[in-house]
């Protein structure tokens, strides 16, 4: 039983996507939310009292809640860590870069019969400094994606005009 729990915890900690729909009914749906600038102390299910978080509290009460997770002080290294399941000293080569040779959690979930989807900020292809080409979402194991900043030059404004890429199609502002 302990090994099964550890395996489930491992998959949940690595997941950074919107609802994944299992192909087989016996598999649980997996949702992981990675939020920039949000600490555990702000979520009600972890004892936070500063904000009302009823939807997150309900998800935590009906699912699996984790007490031990590790992040970096910057968002991109944290995303790379979650995507690969490896500490950054084992996978981090450049800022805003996910090595195309890495196996992501989405690759693993697809092998297990899941349909995968990611939504949010990608920022893992190019940084404008190093001459490197990172992994695109369609090559990282995701069936669907709805992302901001897939490529740096198409990002738009972070706050008042982000350019969203919907399954490879850059949407108009």
Res 145: pLDDT: 96
pLDDT at 113 over 80: yes
Q: Residue 113: left if φ>0, alpha if ψ -120 to 50, beta else—which one?
A: left
What predicted TM-score, i.e. pTM, was given to this entire model?
Answer: 0.77
pLDDT at 20 over 90: no
Query: Percentage of the chain surpassing pLDDT 90?
Result: 43
Res 130: pLDDT: 92
| Mean pLDDT value across residues 128-135 | 92
| Mean pLDDT value across residues 99-119 | 94
Res 25: pLDDT: 62
pLDDT greater at residue 41 or residue 126: 126
| Mean pLDDT value across residues 57-65 | 87
Query: In terms of DSSP bridges, do strands 169-170 and 164-166 run parallel, antiparallel, or are they unpaired?
Result: antiparallel
Residues 23 and 73: their CA atoms lie apart, in Å, by 36
Residues 118 and 96: their CA atoms lie apart, in Å, by 17
| Mean pLDDT value across residues 71-96 | 87
| H-helix segments, the chain | 2-14, 54-62, 75-84, 88-91, 105-111
* Low-confidence winner among 10-24, 81-95, 100-114 (lowest mean pLDDT): 10-24
């Amino acid at each position: 039983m302990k090994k099964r729990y550890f395996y489930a915890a491992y998959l949940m900690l690595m997941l950074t996507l919107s609802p994944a729909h299992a192909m087989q009914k016996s598999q649980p749906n997996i949702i992981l939310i990675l939020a920039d600038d949000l600490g555990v102390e702000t979520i009600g299910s972890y004892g936070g009292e500063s904000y009302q978080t009823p939807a997150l509290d309900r998800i935590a009460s009906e699912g699996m809640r984790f007490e031990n997770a590790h992040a970096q002080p910057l968002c991109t290294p944290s995303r790379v860590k979650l995507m690969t399941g490896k500490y950054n000293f084992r996978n981090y080569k450049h800022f805003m870069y996910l090595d195309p040779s890495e196996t992501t959690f989405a690759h693993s979930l697809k092998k297990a019969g899941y349909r995968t989807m990611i939504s949010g900020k990608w920022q893992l292809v190019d940084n404008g400094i190093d001459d490197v080409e990172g992994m695109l979402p369609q090559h990282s194991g995701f069936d669907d994606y709805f992302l901001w900043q897939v490529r740096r030059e198409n990002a738009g404004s972070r706050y008042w005009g982000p350019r969203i890429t919907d399954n490879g199609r850059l949407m108009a502002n």
